[in-house]
Structure 1
Amino acid sequence: MVSEKVSCCLSPCRSGVEHKVNPLRADFNTSSPWNRPTPISPSPFTMRSTLRLLANVKPRYLEPFAPTGLTGLFTHPSPRPTLIYLYSTTLQKLQAFPESSAYRQSVEALTRHRLQVIESQKPAGFDAWLERVRKTVGAEPERFAKVQRTDGTYTHAAAQQKDGSDDARGEEWDGEGLSATTEGPARTPQQEAEWAKIMNEASETTDKAQHDFYHQDMKWESEPSLDADQISHVEQQIGAGLIEEVIQVAETELKLVDELAKAKVWEELEEKPQPGQWTYFERGN
């Protein structure tokens, strides 16, 4: 085996001070920008300060359908109009109960309070949106009568679809737009024109509800969204968890009010209980 003796030589640098250079690394170029020393990493204190600043940066608006941290519960896309619709409908159905009903009095007080909290928070651009909606409704007042409230405002709670297509079925998985299809055997162009004429006449008549081909679907501009701070304020004022949880409670309460109203629970029982039937279940026993 041939051994090679490695020696160090002295070579003057740009500052005039001699330094040692390994002859095996004769290609080492001290003037190259690629051979500069590694910069010093920031201190842990600097990193903690940066991370703390980044943690304080919160999104202005909550992302719809994003996880909320609760299993099976996702961020609601439009909580304000949904809650207003649910609370307004609940108050309307409670009118069927007697005024002396303790259930009606308690639910009305709670529902009115929460309705006031959610209505007090108006999103940015709400007035401009309301003006556009009024113009749209003015063109077809009969069509939008269902979404108009008694105070003149408009609200809705319905399934939302992405804008860009008037087809309620959306688009195919491959992006190809859906075209209208008809049942039965293939038709000639003349038969297709006659069929289209019948469909148009059925949808343009004033008494649309009597025709099978009339659809209740309507294109409605969504209300501007509340920002994260406004939603947080609503959650703190109501004090019942996330706003998505509040919506679930409002939906369940509306179903309960509807069932109790149908059963007319305020009326006398058809079958009177026997004397002493519930004595065993009294608190004193």
Structure 2
Amino acid sequence: MFRATRRVLAAAQAINKAATTHRTKLSTGITGLAVHPDPLHALRATYTSTLKVLEQVPASAVYRQSAEAITRERLAVVEQAGEGNTEEQIEQVESKLEAGIAEELIQQAEDELKLASKMLEYKPWEDLEEAPAPGQWEPFRITPSTTTADDLHPK
């Protein structure tokens, strides 16, 4: 009888330990998007990698400034949640960021990391190899604040 009790006690302790380290969420509710087993760690790692890539972009580049600000803000929220991976911590991060569920945040972070790498490759902050044709960008100089309905629909 005592052996069975010890086994039940050990199983209960294992379940409690597993509950604190594994997700209890079964579905994201989004087709094709599985529940991530360790979303906060994945977010930390991806945000950190993105910041390292952005360090290679010139500090004067608008892309670096905006991407770095957003990434640092999101990383701070994730780090503020702590090292654990409880549903409460994950929900806290989701509610503070207001940008979707943890799995969507991971996708966004991974997409930004890919984009940062592409930006390094394309170097949009550098001058064009060839000067644009005269008047090429004129249609884009019209701004909504100076445009009237008649300007948008000429007769």
Name the TM tier (shorter chain): 0.7 to 0.9
1:63 is aligned, of 24, 31, 36, to: 24
TM-score (norm 2): 0.74
1:254 to partner: Cα distance? 0.5
The question of whether the paired residues in 1 share the 8 Å contact of 2:43 and 2:109 is answered with yes
Q: Name the counterpart of 1:254.
A: 113
The question of whether the paired residues in 2 share the 8 Å contact of 1:123 and 1:227 is answered with no
Cα distance in 2 between the residues matched to 1:121 and 1:280: 47
Deviations 1:233-276 (A, max 9, x none): 00011110101110000000000000010111111110110121
Cα distance in 2 between the residues matched to 1:68 and 1:82: 16
2:127 is aligned, of 263, 268, 273, to: 268
1:75 to partner: Cα distance? 1.0
- Equivalent runs, 1:133-172 vs 2, <5 Å: none
Amino acid at match of 2:99: A
2:56 is aligned, of 89, 96, 100, to: 96
RMSD: 1.8
Amino acid at match of 1:115: L
- Equivalent runs, 1:83-232 vs 2, <5 Å: 83-124=43-84, 226-232=85-91
Structure 1: 5+ residue stretches without partners:
1-58, 125-225
Cα distance in 1 between the residues matched to 2:53 and 2:88: 32
Cα distance in 2 between the residues matched to 1:229 and 1:84: 17
Q: Name the counterpart of 1:176.
A: none
Cα distance in 2 between the residues matched to 1:73 and 1:232: 17
Q: Name the counterpart of 2:11.
A: none
The question of whether the paired residues in 2 share the 8 Å contact of 1:101 and 1:266 is answered with yes
Instruction: Give secondary structure in 1 for the equivalent of 2:55.
Output: helix
Cα distance in 1 between the residues matched to 2:24 and 2:39: 12
Q: Name the counterpart of 1:243.
A: 102
Cα distance in 1 between the residues matched to 2:23 and 2:40: 13
Deviations 1:126-164 (A, max 9, x none): xxxxxxxxxxxxxxxxxxxxxxxxxxxxxxxxxxxxxxx
The question of whether the paired residues in 2 share the 8 Å contact of 1:76 and 1:244 is answered with yes
